[in-house]
Amino acid sequence: MTRIRQGEGVEMKESISSVVENKLKSERNWLKVAVVTAYIIFLLLPIYWLLNMSFKTNQEILSTFSLWPRDFTLANYATIFTDPSWYSGYINSMIYVLMNTIIALAVALPAAYAFSRYRFLGDKHLFFWLLTNRMAPPAVFVLPFFQLYSAFGLIDTYLAVALAHCLFNVPLAVWILEGFMSGVPREIDETAYIDGYSFPRFFRKIFMPLIASGVGVAAFFCFMFSWVELLIARTLTVTEAKPIAAVMTRTVSASGLDWGVLAAAGILTIIPGALVIYFVRHHIAKGFALGRV
Amino acid sequence: MKMQHNKAWFMVLPMLLVVAVSAIIPLMTVVNYSVQDSFGNNEFFWVGTEWFQEILASERFHNALQRTLLFSGLILVIEIPLGISIALAMPRRGIAVSFCLVLMALPLLIPWNVVGTIWQVFGRVDIGLLGRGLSSLGIDYNYTQDVFDAWVTLIVMDVWHWTSLVVLLCYSGLVSIPEVYYQAARIDGASRWSVFRFIQLPKIKRVLLIAVLLRFMDSFMIYTEPFVVTGGGPGNATTFLSIDLVQMAVGQFDLGPAAAMSLIYFLVILLLSWVFYTVMTSLDNDSNSAGRGR
């Protein structure tokens, strides 16, 4: 059994043992690099294939088999950017995803603050119940959602999808934010009140900057889960607010199989996500550790 | 100590309203359907637990449940150890970290049906790299015809799609371990395995629990990707519970049985998640008392 001792002489012994350790390490290092590289190649290969196809003409895709486009063309992308039924799909998706992220964060912030700072009647039950919503299969909700939103005349609006996606995003946002907020010492709140800050002012001026990375991480996850969800988004929209992902499935079934355009559309759906990851890349790992995700 | 403060309910209220609209009311509708029958015209009458009995006794439900359980089981067995190993192999500092994180998170942000499309194309024997490659190696591979191939394709697809989530979670747990712990282990001459077993594993236990729960729930609820790739086929070989459910609810419009099935489905997930949670937290306590040894 390992005994963790943090006593005297740590540094001296460390320098001796690190010489031995370094030898072992360099042997192990190439294995590590190999594992990570192999995994990343495995991840990128299917995406590369899609990218490859998106630059080919339909004829080339079906007739020849090549690892890179022989007859390089941007025609597939041109089709998407000139046809409103294609590019409006992207705009629709962006709008409801942003609406969802804003709604989810707006209601999750005060709730997470309450969970992290106060004990109140039924708080634990409420928190657990929230998480059970994350466990509900979207397939279960498809039909009732459709009926509920048609009763309110919300079908085919951005709001319907944005609200429906709150089902899984609000619990997640509360969960992440609660973790971040609990990491902020309570004394800060108390000091601010003594200094005469009102609650809204304290929340905006002092508390928000402290949990900014938490808000970033929560926003990232809301964006991600709303962006990738299709089943509910497709059910609640007809034409006006149709998400890009649904436009794609329809095109596949309707006009035969235009593989090139399909691939180009797929590549374009990856881009917003890739941009978002790039912006929060420093917070992803840290965010996971601090927040309770 | 937290303050007892029931006015905090007001802060929770907006969230409760939003979740009520998107969760409680729809769930009540489902419950309502599950105990009624209809001959159209919006006329409903009470049938009690009839639908539940019918679903629980039906072969179709049992088969779909078994397929889903098998799928989730395989996913957990593959993705969790794989995710941990990759997280352990990740670089800890430098530009390589951002590089790896961004690339690994990429599959997570692809819409699920696009994931399906990517693999549908990738695995095709005529135009896909994977299908073409395998058949040129002399392996008879066709995921639309062969049950085994369809399963392998779906599992590889899910591993491709979600292992990164496990990696990111474990990695975040690993980087939060203070360097002092490793130094201490080095002084004691701890082997690589005991460093993992007694330092790293206990420290990432919490995030690992989340990873297992999330992966279990999401693989158990999987719908879009298999729907796009195999459409539940060949035959019914990859018709998971969710696919079956949507078929019943939207395709055949059998509201009563579909609603009853939804509730049973939901309860199965709740139950299994609770079991996972309890087992893993009790393991946590055991290893804490055993591994502490100070």
Do residues A77 and A142 touch, judged by C-beta distance below 8 A? no
Judging contacts by C-beta atoms under 8 Å, the chain B residues touching residue A23 are none
pLDDT of A11 above 60: no
Binning pLDDT at 50, 70 and 90, where does residue A103 land? very high
On whether residue B198 sits in a domain, the answer given is no
HSE at residue B291, side-chain half, CA atoms within 13 A, is: 17
Contacts of B122 in chain A (CB under 8 A): 45-46, 49-50
% pLDDT > 90, chain A: 10
With respect to residue B284, please indicate whether it lies within any of the assigned structural domains.
yes
Mean pLDDT of B44-67: 81
In a domain, B48, yes or no: no
Chain B nearest C-alpha distance from A146 (Å): 9
Q: Which of residues 200-239 of B touch A (CB under 8 A)?
A: 206-207, 210, 217, 220-221, 223-224, 228
Q: Which residues of A touch B105 (CB under 8 A)?
A: 277, 284
User: Cis before residue B234, ω within 30 degrees of 0?
Assistant: yes
Task: Confirm whether B172 is domain-assigned.
Answer: yes
pLDDT of residue B163: 93
Q: Which CATH number goes with the domain that contains B110?
A: 1.10.3720.10
CB of A215 within 8 A of CB of A132? no
A49 closest CB neighbour out of B23, B122, B198: B122
Instruction: Give A119's strand partners.
Output: B4
Facing A17 at nearest CB: one of B187, B206, B210: B187
Which residues of chain B make contact with A147, given a CB cutoff of 8 A? Answer: 29
Length of chain A: 293
Say if residue A282's pLDDT is above 80. Answer: no
8 Å CB contact of B12 and A282: no
A214 pLDDT more than 60: yes
Average pLDDT over residues B185-198: 86
Segment among A132-136, B111-115, B182-186 with least mean pLDDT? A132-136
Confidence band of B158 (pLDDT split at 50, 70, 90): very high
Per-residue tokens: B26: 């729809």
- The pLDDT of residue A283 is 66
- Name the CATH superfamily for A79-290: MetI-like (1.10.3720.10)
What backbone phi and psi angles, to 5 degrees, belong to B36?
Answer: -130, 160
Minimal CA separation from A30 to chain B, in Å: 10
Are B187 and A145 in contact (CB < 8 Å)? no
pLDDT per position as a tens digit, B246-265: 887 777 767 778 888 888 88
**Predicted confidence band of residue B133 (pLDDT cuts 50, 70, 90):** confident
What is residue A109's predicted lDDT score, i.e. its pLDDT?
A: 92
Chain B residues with CB inside 8 Å of A286's CB?
Answer: 172, 175
pLDDT > 80? residue A145: yes
State residue A41's pLDDT score: 92
Using the Cβ of B267 and the Cβ atoms of chain A, whether some distance falls under 8 Å is answered with: no
Q: For B208-234, what is the mean pLDDT?
A: 84
Residue A1: per-residue pLDDT:
38
CA distance A133 to B19: 9
Mean pLDDT over each residue of chain B, to the nearest integer: 82
Q: What integer best gives the mean pLDDT of chain A?
A: 79
**Which chain A residues are within 8 Å of B30, Cβ to Cβ?**
140-141, 143-144
Tell me the average pLDDT across A36-50: 91
> Which two three-digit tokens encode residue B169?
């979670």
Block residue for tokens 């912006």: A279
Would an 8 Å CB–CB cutoff place B56 in contact with chain A? no
Question: Does B69 score more than 60 pLDDT?
Answer: yes
Cα B252 from Cα B243, distance rounded (Å): 12
In this predicted structure, what is the pLDDT of residue B292? 39
Do the interacting molecules here have an ipTM over 0.90? no
Whole-angstrom CA distances from A282 to A214, A251, A286, A288, B94 are 12, 38, 7, 11, 12
Locate all alpha helices (DSSP H) within A55-157, ordered by sequence: 58-63, 75-82, 84-117, 123-134, 138-151
Q: B162 falls in which pLDDT band (50, 70, 90)?
A: very high
Q: Do B270 and A135 touch (CB under 8 A)?
A: yes
| Structural domain of B125 | 61-178+204-292
Measure the CA angle with vertex B180, ends A32 and B197; round to 5°: 55
B251 in any annotated domain? yes
Structure tokens at A20: 């031995």
pLDDT band at A18 (very low <50, low <70, confident <90, very high): low
CA-based nearest distance A199→chain B, Å: 12
Contacts of B121 in chain A (CB under 8 A): 49-50, 53, 259, 262-263
Q: Within a domain: residue B210?
A: yes
| Mean pLDDT comparison of A140-144, A235-239, B15-19, B276-280, highest-scoring range | B15-19
Instruction: Give Cβ neighbours of residue A30 (< 8 Å, ≥ 6 apart).
Output: none
Domain total for chain B?
1
CB contact (8 A) between residue B168 and residue A292: no
Number of A/B CB contacts below 8 angstroms equals 325
Better-scored residue on pLDDT, B171 or B2 = B171
Q: How confident is the model at residue A107 (pLDDT cuts 50, 70, 90)?
A: very high
Burial label for A200, CB within 10 Å (0-12, 13-18, 19+), is exposed
Predicted local distance difference test score (pLDDT) of residue B286: 59
Cβ <8 Å between A249 and B228: yes
Q: Is the pLDDT of residue B283 over 60?
A: yes
Span B165-185, mean pLDDT?
84
